[in-house]
């Protein structure tokens, strides 16, 4: 699947990430599954002094529990590494925990 995240803070800094996750699923029960796999994407940022883009890669995984046939609660830890230019702060690492509701059409 594809994931995009846009952030903007009061200082005018903006970040955009878009990429792909390839997940292997293991079904623990009829309504609950866990998954994990590689992630690859592209990150862009723009602040008042410079802008840059970088290839990102990492791993993600999580748990999905279906509340109904169309809605599920998800928790997804994700580790990402980005290779920015030296002038933009060099390499970056992030560990995120995404959680929320997923809907199926």
In contact, 93 and 84? CB cutoff 8 Å: no
Residue 48 is predicted with a pLDDT of 66
Q: How far apart are the C-alpha atoms of 28 and 33, rounded to whole Å?
A: 5
In contact, 47 and 23? CB cutoff 8 Å: no
Residue 24 is predicted with a pLDDT of 93
Residue with tokens 């609950």, as numbered in its chain: 32
Mean pLDDT, range 31-47, rounded to an integer: 86
Q: Tens of pLDDT along 13-34?
A: 677 778 888 889 999 999 999 9
Mean pLDDT of the residues in the chain: 81
Mean pLDDT, range 32-49, rounded to an integer: 84
The SS3 call for residue 42 is strand
């Amino acid at each position: 699947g594809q994931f995009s995240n846009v952030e903007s803070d009061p200082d005018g800094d903006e970040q955009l990430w878009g990429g792909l996750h390839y997940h292997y699923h293991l079904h623990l029960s009829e309504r609950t599954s866990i998954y994990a796999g590689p992630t690859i994407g592209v990150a862009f940022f723009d602040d008042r002094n410079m802008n840059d883009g970088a290839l990102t890669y990492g791993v993600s995984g999580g748990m999905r529990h279906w509340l109904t046939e169309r809605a599920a609660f998800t928790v997804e830890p994700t580790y990402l590494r980005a290779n920015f230019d030296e002038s933009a702060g060099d390499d970056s690492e992030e560990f995120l925990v995404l959680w929320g509701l997923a809907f199926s059409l």
